[in-house]
Structure 1
Amino acid sequence: MFAVFEKYLQSKASFSEAEIAQIKAASLPKTLRKRQYLLQAGDEWSYQAFVTSGCLRTYSVDAKGAEHILNFAVENWWTGNQESLTTGQPSRYYVEAIEKSTLLLFRKEDFEQLRREIPSLDEVVNAILYRSFLASQNRIHAAISYSAEEKYREFLRLYPAFAQRIPQYMVASYLGMTTETLSRIRRHFV
């Protein structure tokens, strides 16, 4: 499991054997069954979580019981709840495994210490934060200005493998449309 993370890190920056050993010592392996929660709304989140295999979703549930998916996380992606991690407040979101998944968790304090002691790791994290900010900005732009068809087309362009891997009702929730609307749009793509 850690070998996946090491390969990921080495693809992003240069790390010595001692630094990799230090990072490995701080990692906590976690396996989730399909439909098992990594985090539930109301709980405080205190980890950084790297996905080594599988697929997870982050979502909220509104007052009417409807789910609203914020994002998905697959291999070599990070997941969790940065708001809860940063503020210490209970999470508003659920993080659930869509498939059997394996992750590496890092306690907040341990991860912050690693970032202070290993400049390459800090650089990798800063680059991830920057890309995450840009992705969030692009997602907001699409949500407020694209038609349903344009949203789906952009989703397929950015995440072509997701269309086969993630149930359609979850894709619809992520795109902010009904399953019926997505089915109608998908018929035009066949």
Structure 2
Amino acid sequence: MRSDPASSSGFTLLEVVVALAVVTLGIIAAFNLIVQISTGSLQMKERTIAGWIASNEITRLRLSGEFPEVSQFDGDVEFAGETYRWRATVSETGVEELRRIDMDVSYVDNPDIVIGRSTGFIAPAPPPRLGGSNWTAAADSGPGAAESLNDQVDEVEDGDTQPQTPDTDGSGREDNR
């Protein structure tokens, strides 16, 4: 006995093809989302590393003690297993004795594409203080107000664990901190 084809239950070929098309579109969308997320996290990692490199190089310039001329210079640095190229552009700020440093970071293989940029400012190092290491701590400039820090260190070395500080509030007694 044959059953009536109109009353049979099941999917037609057209319904199966449409269902497969919908599932395929969903899989493609999910795959594209995964690719975008991984690309975004890679770019975020690159920008973070480039920011660290730029900050390190600006700090290195500040600590060198040299006041850079208005110029442009570059260098290579290895960081996190990759070699990067940084390019510093030193420019005037309009404020005397203050320079702006724009630091661009890129890969050595592709120096035209900047992956990170940072800006800093640099001023000349202050002149060294006179008097060597004999520093003084004073609450006011009156006679006898300054007590040598070297004397305080000697007191601590002699067993007095509380260095004395000068009278700062005018009460006539020394403050113990």
TM-score in terms of structure 2 length: 0.24
* Bigger Rg over Cα: 2
TM-score in terms of structure 1 length: 0.23
Structure with bigger helix share is 1
If asked which structure has higher relative contact order (CA below 8 Å, sep 6+), I would say 1
